[in-house]
Amino acid sequence: MAAAARRAGREPDQVTLLAVTKGFGVEVAREAFALHLMDLGENRVQEAEGKIAAMGAGPRWHLIGHLQTNKAKRAVQLFDEIHSVDSSRLAEDLARRAAAEGRTLRCYVEVRTTDEATKSGVAREETHALLEHMRPLESLRVAGLMTIGPLHGGSEGARSSFRELRLLKDEAVRRGVLGADAGLSMGMSDDFEIAIEEGATVVRIGSALFGPRS
């Protein structure tokens, strides 16, 4: 991570390592936290619930998987950040539930930067409209944009996807629908160095840290 940041003329501390503990037991999450990995990521509300209860206070928990509106209430109660907001309906539901909990929820808008129909995320051309819609939602703080790189296309496909997200973010900042400090949640075990070179502020890494999932 540090080498990739320096190649891009960035400081290593500009990038947060989000350790993805999905698919691993609570003992792995405990070990990660003991090694000062403060930010832990989960894909599903149900799987995360037991881990978060077992771990207690300490880690910052991030939901990185697709979130259905019927899980929004519990997600707001469990997670510090949600990386997968992809519709105005979900944003409104999260905002309402965060307000009821008396908190402000950090979130990222997930953007589909590839043409893979199976991926979640708002379409590229609808990103700014969704950000505009979210601006008045006082109990949400939009921390930036998130994407998942392509399954195919190799390093150039990944670079193209991440570059597109960075350009979308830059345009959103110019339009005033994102703050100047907005970040980019992008890059996983196979492509995090490319993501950092293209401006990632959060990389979501699981198997490169913990090995293959069973």
Q: Is the pLDDT of residue 117 over 80?
A: no
Q: Is the pLDDT of residue 122 over 80?
A: yes
Q: What is the pLDDT of residue 118?
A: 78
Q: For residue 128, which of 166, 84, 169 has the smallest C-alpha distance?
A: 169
pLDDT in tens, 177-192: 999 999 999 999 999 9
Q: What is the pTM of this model?
A: 0.95
Examine residue 58 and state whether it is found in any structural domain, yes or no: yes
Domain boundaries, position 181: 9-206
CA 179 to centroid of chain Cα atoms:
17
Could you tell me the CATH number of the domain that includes residue 135? Answer: 3.20.20.10
Examine residue 14 and state whether it is found in any structural domain, yes or no: yes
> pLDDT category, 86, cuts 50, 70, 90?
very high
Q: Taking residues 74-96, what's their average pLDDT?
A: 97
pLDDT in tens, 128-167: 999 999 999 999 999 999 999 988 888 999 999 999 999 9
Examine residue 185 and state whether it is found in any structural domain, yes or no: yes
Tell me how many domains the chain contains: 1
Examine residue 214 and state whether it is found in any structural domain, yes or no: no
Examine residue 127 and state whether it is found in any structural domain, yes or no: yes
- Residues of the chain above pLDDT 90, percent: 92
Q: Taking residues 54-77, what's their average pLDDT?
A: 95
Question: How many residues in total does the chain contain?
Answer: 214
Which residues on neighbouring strands pair with residue 184, listed in sequence order? 145
Examine residue 192 and state whether it is found in any structural domain, yes or no: yes
Q: Taking residues 73-94, what's their average pLDDT?
A: 97
Examine residue 190 and state whether it is found in any structural domain, yes or no: yes
Examine residue 57 and state whether it is found in any structural domain, yes or no: yes
Q: What is the pLDDT of residue 152?
A: 81
Q: What is the pLDDT of residue 39?
A: 98
Q: What is the pLDDT of residue 16?
A: 98
The gap between the terminal CA atoms of the chain, to the nearest Å, is 26
